Each structure stands twice: as C-alpha cells, then as structure tokens.
Structure 1
Amino acid sequence: MKFARVAALFTIIILGQIGCRTIVVSKWVPSDSQGFSKVRVLLSHAGEEEIFKTEGTLEVLDANDLTIKKAYELLSINPTPIKAPIRIITNGDFIEYKGTKYRGEIQLKPIDGKVMVVNIVPMEEYLFSVVPSEVPASWPKEALKAQAVCARTYVVREMISRKKQPYDVDTTTNTQVYKGKSKENTHTSQAVEDTEGLILVFKGSPIQSFFHSNSGGVTEDPINVWGSSVEYLASVKSDYDREGENYSWEDKFSPSQMNQALAGLSLGEIQDLIVATRFNSSRVNEIEVIGTKGSKKIKGTELRKLLGANKLKSTRFGIRKEQDGSFFVKGLGSGHGVGLSQWGSYGMAKDNMDYKEILAHYYKGIDFARMTQN
C-alpha cells in the first residue's frame, strides 16, 4: 500500500548513524483522515448483556455523538439489537470490561449480525500495555526499547493493511498480546516514551516487524513459514538465545494423544513419525506420518498446529518413537522463528548492546524513522 493512501500527515525522519544528526526524508499528505493516533483493538464479540465499570461516570454516545445513556461506575447494556456503532466513554482513567481495565474508550460495532467490542486507545498508551504483555518488565532497558519499537512498527503496519476492516489488532498472539492498563509497568512505559514515534522502515515503508520468543540459535526465513520471502527478514544467527527460556525443551506424546491430534489425516493408528527434510536453519520442512492406513508427508508447520504450539514449541525438533509406543520430542527455540528473538534481544542487551544494534541485527537493511503528526 502506498503512503498516499495512509491516513494522517506525517514527517518521516531517518535517524542517522553519525552523532545525533537527523535527515528529513519525506512528507506526505494522505487521502483520508484515519490517522495513526489511535489503535482499534478487538476485545470480543458482545453477548446479550455486557457490563462496563469505571471510577466515575460512563456515557453512551450514538453515531452522532449524542448522549443516549449515562451511568455512574457501572453500566449494563444489551448491544445485540444496535444497528449502528455506539461509543462508551468515561471521565475516569479506565473502562473495565470482563475484569480488565482499558484506557481510551469502547466502541460497540455491529458487523455481519454480530457486535464487536473494540477498544479505541491512543497508540502510545496501547504500547504501555503491549510491551509488558510481551516481555517481562524486569528485562534490560535496551531490550524493552527494542520491543517497543517492534510493537509500534507492527501495529502501524497492521493499521495500514487493515484500514478498511473494523479493527486493527486483537489481544492475542495472533497479532500482539494486550492485557490492558493493569499490566502496565513504569520500566516498560519509560521504554515506550524513550522511543516515542519510532518505527522501522525498509525502502520508505513500515516493515513487517515479526518477533518470537526464542529462535533456538538461528532465526527463520519467512518463506519457510508462510511461503513468501522478505528481504529484511533473512535468517540470522542468534547465539544469545542460549540464555533464554525455551532455548532447549523436550516433551512426550502418548499414543492416544498422537492418534487424536492427527486423526484428521485419516491414516488410522499412528505408527511412526520420521523427519523427511529440513531447512538450512535445521527446522523441519517435511515430516512423514506413518499409520496403519497409509503414510503422508506434511509440513513441520502443519504438524505444530496439529500437536499444539504449547507442546511442539518450534519446528526445530527431533522425534523418536519409544518402546512403550509414546513419541519423545526434543527441540530448540519457541515460536515461528521469524524476525526478532525476544530472548536473543535480552541477551544482547545484557551484553551492553543498545536497541538500535539489536534491531539492526534481526532486521537487515532497515532504517529507523520517527513519525511526527503535524
């Protein structure tokens, strides 16, 4: 998508490598007014009764911003009949929904017969929650800054690609983890403030700043995960991962667990699993599944989905069948392996590398750009 279609007036400033010098690269005037100032976060789909709380007053506004309902501290509403979006605002510091406190406002938006509950929150305040939801707030500050820049770039890219959709991100690992105001921490909030507006760009566009928990020593080329190559996401060594959780792991699957997980392959009782091919990163490309009704080769990524990402933590694994019929799995790393390794970032920061060095290691050929809305 070209910048002319993005929704606000911004200046992109590339951060130079010589001292504190900055170079203004370009300005653009987009064709609409959505902007990047606020993020639309899908919280859930509404039921027949939804309850919102705050410390103060709650106000319900219709599509014309006319007040249609007011409540003090607690609001109960059945949103299922609504035909147009309504907003819930507060004069307090948060709106609590299903036990979680959120900054900003809540929008109830009818789409295709369902009502979406969407948190509309200023971008930097959204990041106050995302960074500590993704990594421990006790980590070194340079690792926290690296995560803040990654998270900001990620949501900007999502906002561009989902501009015509009803929300930008959700609260899960499908996009970025977001646990609301109660998750915020002074250390991670400082990392967000220290990098305010800073994103990663490649040839003038915000990058796909994918990240994962632990690469197991080497990151993966996205073509081996999602089928398309991205120049700045080339596989790199990540030796600092050794210090992190899930660098090395093992698990076991009983025959019944394996049969149930792979039942959709229609191979009968699973007899064995044999790694057929690997990528250069040593992650499994194809694995042959042998059953009483035949055999089939499937991708390592497909096997991970079938067995569960919490059990098969990455596709960098080996597997063998034990004498008791169970399957023993041992592997390295956790996650898809593309882009920044969070535990690698942790190790690099502990070794006194700053966040720019960390990000430049995992995203090759990128520039650092600061967005300033005029």
Structure 2
Amino acid sequence: LRLVNVVPLEEYVAGVVQSEAGRHHHLEYYKLQAVSCRTYALSNQRKHLDQGFEVCDRVHCQVYHGRNHTDTIAQAVLETRNMVMVDADIRLIHATFHSNCGGETLNAEDVWSKSEPYLQATTDTFCLAGSHATWQKRVPRKDWVAYLKRAYGVNTASSADLFPLLDHHPTCRGIYMNQREPLVPLKQVRADWKLNSTYFTLHEEGENVVFEGRGFGHGVGVCQEGAMEMARRGFSFVDILHYYYAEVHLVDLASLDFFRDIGQ
C-alpha cells in the first residue's frame, strides 16, 4: 500500500522548510530556505514519476513531515511566493544544501561527477561555530586496515601504501584519501563508515584510528549553519543565496516562459 499526498506547492514548501530547517531561526534564513526548497522541488519533480508520484518525503529528495505550524516560516514562504533560482540559460538550478560544510564547500563534480557553474567550492567561515562544525569517530585499527585491503586491494604489508591511509592530514577538501594507486575515494569511505562528512583527518591512537572531522553532509551548495549565521549578522536572503550559488538569477515562476522566449 502506498499513500500519495497531493499538496499545493507553497504549502509543500512551508512543510519542507520546517522539516529541513527546524524552528526558531531568522526570517531571512527561512526565506533563503523557501526559495531553495521551491527551486529544488520543481527542478526534480520527475524524480519518482515511474513510481506514480513526483518527489519523496525523505533526504533522497527533501524531508517533508507535513504541514508547517510556524508563523515565521509561513511569512517567509509568503514573501518569496513563486520565487525560484535559474542559471544563465534560464534553467531551474539544482538547489542543493547541507547541514555544515566545515569551512569549505565542494564543487558539484567532486560529489556527483557532473559540474554546474553555480555549484562551485567556496570558503565559508560563517559555519565554524555551528553545532555540526566538528566531529570525531574511533574505529579499531585492525578493522580499518582489513577494510582497506578488502575494499580497495591496498597492500597493507607496504608501509608506503598504508602510511598515507593511517596518517591522513589534508590541507583542504579533496576527493581521495591518497595520491597513489589504488585510490581510496573519500565519498565511499564516508558511506561505508557512516561518517558525518568527507572532510577529515586520520591518525593512529593506540589500537584505534581516529577520524577528526569537520562539517556534516555532502558539502555542495548552501551550508545551512553558515547561512543561519549570515542571517543573524544581517545579510539578506538574496545576499546569502548569491554567496553560495554563483551567478544565479532570482525570478518569478510566471516569468520563466517569457525569459526563455526572449533567449531563443
């Protein structure tokens, strides 16, 4: 049995904002989240058509727990009604967001292989005091070494091959843990070990290896905790959107066809 909830767009946006952002935030942050959620929903509305609906209510699309009950969110959705983001070709952007970037966002191609000119890496100091800015995880050294050998064929008897994977201290975000074959992709390590992010150092400590990490989420697009801090400091939702999404345009849904016709 599958239940499909048919919801007006603006009501859906309000519900997603409450589910994704929570309560007690600045109005400008909720406006930013409303525009992002609306744009994401419309640009991904064919994601589940083969299953009989448009978007799901989980992180695969956007978290949706039902109707919003927060006045500030309702105000933010109303004041940005029908507002979406488009790229230079007047196409709805892939308006991704994540909890905390750890101080540096990623390029789209670093996570999903396809590059987008508006999803470019940027330095973000606004999130560094956020609740998800840092994390730590310990795992038995023997389990980590066995994983490297099993999953990637690392020659664990070779100190030259193993050492970079036991003493990992990158100076910036990357794609791989090491620089020599066999390459160990950070994205897969994060998934396999249920880490908060791909942004971490690694060192040995007794019988364990310790992941010291920064941020929470995939790291592409809007850093939510950074955006929250920007809103608290007085930045407008438009300023914040342009900080995280490069060279996008905010337009009314009703004007999309007009602008597309002009561009042809």
Query: Do both proteins adopt the same fold according to a TM-score greater than 0.5, normalized to the shorter chain?
Result: yes
What is the distance in 1 between the residues matched to 2:54 and 2:209?
40
Is 1:222 paired with 2:108?
yes
- Displacement of 1:166: 2.4
Partner residue, 1:157: 43
Residue from 200, 221, 226 that aligns with 1:339: 221
Query: What residue in structure 1 maps to residue 58 of structure 2?
Result: 172
Aligned counterpart in structure 2 of residue 317 of structure 1, from 200, 216, 238: 200
Secondary structure of 2:177's counterpart equals: strand
Residue of structure 2 equivalent to 1:184: 69
> In the superposition, relative to structure 1, how do residues 300 and 158 fare at CA in structure 2: closer, same or farther (>3 Å)?
same
Please give the alpha-carbon distance, in whole angstroms, between the structure 2 residues aligned to 1:221 and 1:363.
Answer: 11
Residues 172 and 259 from structure 1, CA distance in 2 versus in 1: closer, same or farther, beyond 3 angstroms? farther
SS at match of 1:297: coil
| Contact 2:199 2:214 (8 Å CA) reproduced | yes
Separation of aligned partners in 2, 1:185 and 1:273: 52
Matched with 1:287 is 177
Residue aligning to 2:86: 201
Contact 1:274–1:319 (CA<8 Å) still a contact in 2?
Answer: no
Is the aligned partner of 1:353 residue 2:235? yes
Residue 117 to residue 273, structure 1, CA distance change in 2 (3 Å): farther
Larger Rg: 1
Shift of 1:266: 7.1
Matched-pair contact (CA < 8 Å) for 1:275–1:284? no
> 2:216 corresponds to which letter in structure 1?
S
Aligned partner of 2:260 in structure 1 is: none
Query: Aligned-residue CA RMSD in angstroms?
Result: 3.0
TM-score (norm 1): 0.60
Using the aligned pairs only, state the percent identity.
28
In structure 2, C-alpha distance between the alignment counterparts of 1:256 and 1:192, rounded to whole Å = 51
Cα drift, residue 189 of structure 1: 2.0
Aligned 1:32-43 pairs, distance under 5 A: none
Amino acid at match of 2:213: G
* Structure 1: segments with no counterpart, 5+ residues: 1-45, 47-115, 289-294
Question: Larger relative contact order (C-alpha < 8 A, sep ≥ 6)?
Answer: 2
Indicate the structure with greater helix content.
Answer: 2
Contact 2:118 2:247 in 1 (8 A): yes
Give the number of the structure whose residues are more often strand, by fraction.
1
Q: Per-residue deviation at 1:365?
A: 0.9
Moved over 3 A (4+): 160-165, 255-264, 266-273
